Amino acid sequence: MVIPLDGLEYHPSGGPEDRHGGPAVVSKSAPLWVRVRKNHWTTRLIALAAFLVVWWILTTPWAWNGDKPIMLPLYLPSIPSVWNAFIRANTIHPIAEGVDREVVGEYGYYLWQHLLATLQRIGIGLFFAIVIGLPLGLLMASVKIISVSVEPYINFLRSLPPLGYIGLLIVWFGIDNTSKIWLLFLAAFPPITIATIAGVSGIKEDQIHAAQSLGASRLQVVSSVTVPAIAPDLITGIRVALGFAWTTVVAAELNNGIPGIGGLAYLSGTELKTPLTITCIIVIGITAIVLDSIIKAMERVLTPWRGKA
Amino acid sequence: MSRDKSLVVDGVRQFFGPKNSRVQALSRTDLVIEPGQFVCLAGPSGCGKTTLLRLIAGFINPSEGQITVSGSEIIGPGPDRGVVFQSPTLYPWMDVASNVELGLKFQGVSKDQRRADSERYLQMVGLTDFAHRRTYELSGGMQQRCQIARVLASDPEFILMDEPFGALDALTRERLQNELLDIWRKTGKTILFITHSVDEAVFLGSRVLVMSPRPGKIVFDEPAIFSKPGESIAAEEIRSLPAFLELRERVRSSIQHSH
């Protein structure tokens, strides 16, 4: 319950002006313009429709333009051609029109196999980033010498564009999966380490004292106080790390990146298959949003006290 | 001998800051707290009350002198000295009952026993209906009660309380004072209670200390006779006793003169 305070106006959520900016409850029978003002999803759907209409206008042949679209398909493919590329990438289809030979998806893999291969790499990279980054963060937060000596290297690494050192990783670890996972790991672990350090330094001293006065051993302090106390920061770190890893995915899959959605996006671009490139971009973007929503949901379930205590 | 179980502050001095510009927070302090006493330490803010409490709790080590319990020196925090902090340091990742059970969990008490104990102490502080709520869903007064229940459940010999009711409104504060007196009468725990309220100190304590600031020094130490273990007088009655008013006046003037 929120208690109205003097001098502070209190609007129950769903009221005329929702202070928190969250979606308010609006009746379905309300006129559209009311719903746009009140409901973010209605707004988003309308924005998407507007975007598709502009795309359609730009890519449809017009009589006044000599039966040509405003933007040529090479630059901006039409919506149906992107849809066809999406279908082709997910089916067994003839290699070309009028040819009997049939192939699977794109470059021998269905689109979901490309996506899955990438997700696996990200998953493994993120796994090692947590396994290494979390203890490193705890160590750096508790041992001054380690923090002073390691921190500059983490900041150095964090500032490097992955494209700059992918070549080096390939020389060291080969052109197959290992170098790609290394790249994703290197992109993902600094945010986790930094978040862990921030989490530990944010623990109130008295929370540790309280546990010690209740008879906690060193290990019990870590398991009952330190770890749960940094959980919100850690989850934020993982969320940032996943975002970094995901934006690094095309760089990771530049060389020998098939199967892989990043490799497919890059390769199709170099071969001027723009509809397929756009398909890949849409899939990469939507997957990123879905992954982020999953972590945000985990955040709500695992650390419900976040921001409240 | 009762003295065997007492808490002894022996020639303790406390400095803070670097050696060349150090600040003395506590001048030489000697103090014996006997078992069963309810010692209230009053004084203006910044006078070193909290420093003394944190020394006894073992959160900091004395620059000089030593503090002993039952003859053995304090070298760190321990479950024999429960601490009730000024702002409730409850753990938001646990529900109310789990917070109360935490000390028992650290001691390795079985789950069933823990449940039984936490139910008992939650009932004592009137939080039975909130056992499975999250701590941040409680009001400030309820959080303080939960903290008191948590300390009681771990069964310490000494309870150190650092202005626990300082942030509460007057009504809640008075109610909790009465509850605390009740608990003290029932359990016979030894309590060191820090407050900046003269009224609170004189009302609660079986012994009232006053500390003067810069550097902290105990300048007043007298028994308060209004509330004895086993005896229960109404709060309004105590507050209207001439002896209560007289002691309160003397404590007040001792604080004013110490400035």
Q: What is the ipTM of this complex?
A: 0.86
Share above pLDDT 70 across residues of chain A, in percent, rounded to a whole number: 88
User: Strands B38-42 and B207-212, how do they pair?
Assistant: parallel
- Tokens coding A115: 């996506």
Most A CBs within 10 Å: which of B85, B91, B132, as the mutation test of the A interface?
B91
Angle B192-B167-B193 from CA coordinates, rounded to 5°: 5
The amino acid sitting at B180 is L
Domain interval for residue B239: 2-80+158-257
In tens, the pLDDT along A125-167 reads 999 999 999 999 999 988 889 999 999 999 998 888 888 888 8
CA–CA gap between residue A198 and residue A233 (Å, rounded):
7
Note whether B120 and B195 are same-domain residues.
no
Do B170 and B245 reside in the same domain of the chain? yes
Instruction: Indicate the residue among B155, B187, B210 that finishes a domain.
Output: B155
Residues B246, B162 share a domain? yes
- Is residue B81 helix, strand or coil? strand
| Residue A256 DSSP SS3 | coil
Q: Please, how many CA atoms are within 13 Å of residue A97, restricted to the half-sphere of its CB?
A: 0
pLDDT for B233 equals 66
Q: Quick one: B68 and B186 in the same domain?
A: yes
| B162 and B45 in a common domain | yes
- The average confidence (pLDDT) of chain A is 86
| Predicted confidence band of residue B1 (pLDDT cuts 50, 70, 90) | very low
Residues B69 and B187 in one domain: yes
Residue among A215, A303, A309 minimizing CB distance to B103: A215
Q: Does B15 touch chain A (CB under 8 A)?
A: no
Is residue A208 within 8 A of residue A217, CB to CB? The reply is: no
Same domain as B76, residue B100: no
Query: Residue A228's closest chain B neighbor by CA?
Result: B93
Mean pLDDT of all residues in B72-93: 88
Shared-domain flag, residues B176 and B251: yes
Q: Round to whole Å and give the CA distance between A179 and A124.
A: 12
Is this prediction's pTM over 0.90? no
pLDDT at position A129, please? 96
Per-residue pLDDT at A22: 46
- More reliable by pLDDT, B236 or B94: B94
Whose tokens are 């209409």? That residue is A53
Residue window 130-169, chain B: list those with CB within 8 Å of chain A.
134-136, 150-151, 154, 156
Give how many domains chain B has, as a whole number. 2
CB A242 within 8 A of CB A287: no
Decide if B259 contacts B252 (C-beta within 8 A): no
Asked if B78 reaches chain A (Cβ–Cβ under 8 Å), the answer is yes
A295: distance to nearest CA of chain B, Å? 18
Q: Give the helix/strand (H/E) hosting B195.
A: strand B190-195
Residue ranges of domains in chain A, CATH in brackets: 111-302 (1.10.3720.10)
Give yes or no for B195 touching A (CB within 8 A): no
Conformational region of residue B155, where left means phi above 0, alpha means psi within -120 to 50, and beta covers everything else: left
Do B71 and B17 sit in the same domain of this protein? yes
pLDDT of B202 strictly over 90: no
Whether B101 and B171 share a structural domain: no
B63 and B107 in a single domain? The answer is no
Which structure tokens are listed for B169?
Answer: 């409104």
Q: What is the CATH number of the domain that holds B230?
A: 3.40.50.300
In this prediction, residue A285 carries a pLDDT of: 93
